[in-house]
Amino acid sequence: MRYFITLILALYSSLAQAQNWEDQHYFGRPNAAETLRVLSSTDTAYVSGMIDGFVAENPDLGVEYLVTGTQNLNRVMRENPGRYDLVISSAMDLQIKLVNDGFATQLKDVASPDWTHWRSSLFGFTAEPAAIVLHKSVLANHSAPETRQDLIRLLRAEPELFRNRVATYDIRSSGLGYLFAAQDARTSETYWRLSEVMGGLGTRLYCCSGTMIDAVARGEILVAYNVLGSYAAAQAQDHPQIEVIVPSDFSTTMMRTVLVSRQSDNQLSARNFVAFMLDHFASPTSAETPQLPQLLSREGQENRQVIPLEPALMIYLDRLKRQAFTREWESAVIQ
């Protein structure tokens, strides 16, 4: 009997361990007294410098960095909130809901500007605009589109060139894509016109920024809309054929956010990690590559439509809302 229970426990833990992580990395000494488990949707490369710095300052601490998609991350966290100490995600709405549902610890003593945190529980540490990514070949005959209007004009000018070679997020599979789309729609009617134009050209839909940028780099796709600018900028360093444009009419900007799990056993270390992290991304070392764009003061981003960190974001998670929006989006994009 005892063996049986041990077997079940072993199976269970191995099943949990067998979670399919996109990436998994351990920082710090292997025999560290305390290990912080960080659940994240951000590629390791973007944060490894920061975590190295943290474990260097705190030699007793190890950091286990686990990467997965935002939806999966949300699910895993809700299933096992005690297993993870910190959650880093680009899906602001999901993160907000985690806080609203009481999964996060309030860190009253962590200093942060008012608009970059909610309830002192969820802290934004980057401001990343959605960008238009172009293959440079397009620019041979055309000037770079600065605004959405410019983009519409460009697409309409040469429909045959762009047919089946424009791309955007599939909002049905991408949380971030849905957030960007909903924000765009809230900000301007231009979004729907652009969507219809793109729909008319047989837009290809992607799940993720990375694959979209890769497709542009390969020349399969000429124009990708609402791509995460930070990733695109990183890729552009290796692929000179990529042009990244942040629209000047308005640029929907999301914040990458972090929270400390309320059921974490390592509250103090987790809090210190957040403080260190906010500090780090507020003034990143130039040597670091790739970089995540830092939060700027409000004044420094006139055209940036930073998605406000407020519970109203939960509306995008509402089933009815999503249904209605998706229906409208589908009718525009999938023709």
Partner 1 sequence: MKDRREGKVNTSGSLRNTLMVSLIGGAVVLAVILYLVVRTYAAQIAQSTQDRILSASITSILDAAAIRNDTLSVELPYSAFSILSTQADDRFFYAIYQDGEFLSGYDRMVHAQTPPGEVRFESGRYDGSDLRIATASRRLVGGSERTTLSVTVAQTQENLAGVLNRISRNAALLGFGFFALMTLLSLWLTYATITPLTRLAASVQRRGAEDLRPVAAPVPAEMAPLVGALNSFMGRLSHSLDQSEEFIAEAAHRVRTPLATVRSYAETTLQRVDKLENRQALRSMVRAIDESSRAAGQLLDHAMITFRADHLNKETLNLTELTQELIQAMRPIAEMKDVELDLMAHDDVQTEGDAILIQNAMRNLIDNALKYAPFETAITVKVLANPTRIKVRDYGPGFPVEEIDELATRFRRGTNSDGIIGSGLGLTIASDVATAHGGSLILTNPAEGGACATLSL
* Interacting residue with partner 1 among 144, 246, 314, 326 (CB under 8 A): 314
For 164, other C-beta atoms within 10 Å of its C-beta total: 12
Helix, coil or strand: residue 277? helix
DSSP string, 123-176: EEEEEEEEEEEEEGGGGGTSPPP-SHHHHHHHHHH-HHHHTT-EEEE-TTT-HH
**Could you tell me whether strands 304-306 and 166-169 are parallel, antiparallel, or unpaired per DSSP bridges?**
unpaired
Tell me which stretch binds partner 1 (CB under 8 A): 29-37, 195-203, 295-303, 322-330.
322-330
Distance separating alpha carbons of residues 109 and 51, to the nearest angstrom? 21
Binding footprint of partner 1, residue count (CB under 8 A)? 19
CB of residue 81 to partner 1, shortest distance in Å? 13
CB of residue 320 to partner 1, shortest distance in Å? 5
* Interacting residue with partner 1 among 315, 331, 334, 335 (CB under 8 A): 315
Q: Which two tokens stand for residue 301?
A: 């981003």
Tell me which stretch binds partner 1 (CB under 8 A): 94-102, 139-147, 149-157, 251-259.
94-102
102 part of the interface to partner 1, by CB under 8 A:
yes
* Interacting residue with partner 1 among 310, 330, 334, 335 (CB under 8 A): 310
Tell me which stretch binds partner 1 (CB under 8 A): 168-176, 195-203, 280-288, 309-317.
309-317
Tallying the residues shown for the chain, one arrives at: 335
Question: Among candidates 97, 77, 96, which has minimal Cα distance to 37?
Answer: 77
Distance separating alpha carbons of residues 75 and 88, to the nearest angstrom? 14
Report phi then psi at 158, rounded to 5.
Answer: -130, 70
Interaction mask 177-206, partner 1, x per CB under 8 A: ---------x--------------------
321 part of the interface to partner 1, by CB under 8 A:
yes
Nearer to partner 1, 193 or 322 (CB): 322
Q: How far is CA 76 from CA 28, 69, 164, 225, 313, in A?
A: 24, 10, 36, 30, 21
Question: Among candidates 119, 22, 128, which has minimal Cα distance to 69?
Answer: 22
* Interacting residue with partner 1 among 8, 139, 312, 334 (CB under 8 A): 312
Tell me which stretch binds partner 1 (CB under 8 A): 18-26, 57-65, 118-126, 194-202.
118-126
Interaction mask 122-161, partner 1, x per CB under 8 A: ----------------------------------------
Q: Could you tell me if 219 and 137 are in contact, meaning their C-beta atoms sit under 8 angstroms apart?
A: yes
84 part of the interface to partner 1, by CB under 8 A:
no
Per CB under 8 A, residues contacting partner 1 are 99-100, 102, 118-120, 186, 310-312, 314-315, 318-321, 323-325
